[in-house]
Amino acid sequence: MNNLLKGVNLYLIGMMGCGKTTVGNLLASELGYRFIDTDDIIVKAAGKSINQIFTEDGEKEFRKLESNVLSQVCAYTKLVIATGGGIVMQKENWSYLHHGVIVWLNAPIEVLYERLIEDKTRPLLQDTDLKEKLRSLLSERHGVYAQADLHITINAQQTPAEITQHILEVIPGILRSENSQN
């Protein structure tokens, strides 16, 4: 697998709660890659939480920081990069994502809801009706997430390790199809 990927980065995209951070960490250790989370880099650089950035500086400023981080990480190889749920909504970000293989973790609303109901660290989800908010965000983003190279359907039963194995199994298929176009 390592030989096949040749150091190409993996970008994980998908809704908050779909498992980008959890699965990304496992994927990186299986591949001998480094794991990074764009949210973590932003928090470290800004010296405040994502919630604080949203309230003090606004979502627009957060999106700028996010694009900046993405533009910088694509200079490196052998990375698994977990991105923020909304990163796909800015067109310029796709030019960075396409430096690597883009993996969409597609989890149903019910699964996201169960995982996020107690989580107070997610700025866009401090809504009174969490399920409705998730539905509206997913309907806005679904078509954009679908531009990923790999679509991984997540259900409530799969463990992070099983999802990781599944991704490792399907990657060779898309690498072959990309090579055959050249």
**Cα–Cα distance for residue pair 140/137, rounded to 1 Å:** 5
Among 9, 11, 22, 26, binds ligand ADP (CB under 6 A): 22
Euclidean distance between CA atoms 87 and 74, whole angstroms: 14
Phi, psi of 13 (to 5 degrees): -125, 160
Least distance to ligand ADP, CB of residue 80, Å: 12
Binding mask 7-26 for Mg ion (x = CB under 5 A): -------------xx-----
Single out the residue of 13, 16, 81, 125 in contact with ligand ADP (rule: CB under 6 A).
16
Q: Among 99, 160, 174, 175, which residue interacts with ligand ADP (rule: CB under 6 A)?
A: 160
Tell me which stretch binds ligand ADP (CB under 6 A): 15-23, 46-54, 63-71, 164-172: 15-23
Residue 32 · residue 78 · CB < 8 Å: yes
- Minimum CB–partner distance for residue 115 and ligand ADP (Å): 4
Cβ distance to ligand ADP smaller for residue 21 or 67: 21
Run of H or E residues at 139: helix 130-145
* Single-letter amino acid, residue 85: G
The answer to whether 81 touches 100, Cβ cutoff 8 Å, is yes
**148 φ/ψ sector (left φ>0, alpha ψ -120 to 50, else beta):** beta
Contact flag: residue 171 with ligand ADP (CB under 6 A): no
By rule CB under 6 A, what string of x and - marks binding of each residue 77-116 to ligand ADP? -----x--------------------------------x-
Q: What 3 state SS string does 10-71 have?
A: EEEECCCCCCHHHHHHHHHHHHCCEEEEHHHHHHHHHCCCHHHHHHHHCHHHHHHHHHHHHH
Name the segment binding ligand ADP (CB under 6 A); options: 59-67, 96-104, 126-134, 154-162: 154-162
The only residue of 9, 17, 38, 79 in contact with ligand ADP, by rule CB under 6 A? 17
> Bridge partners of 10?
80, 101
Residues in contact with Mg ion by CB under 5 A are 20-21
Residues in contact with ligand ADP by CB under 6 A are 14, 16-22, 82, 115, 158-160, 163
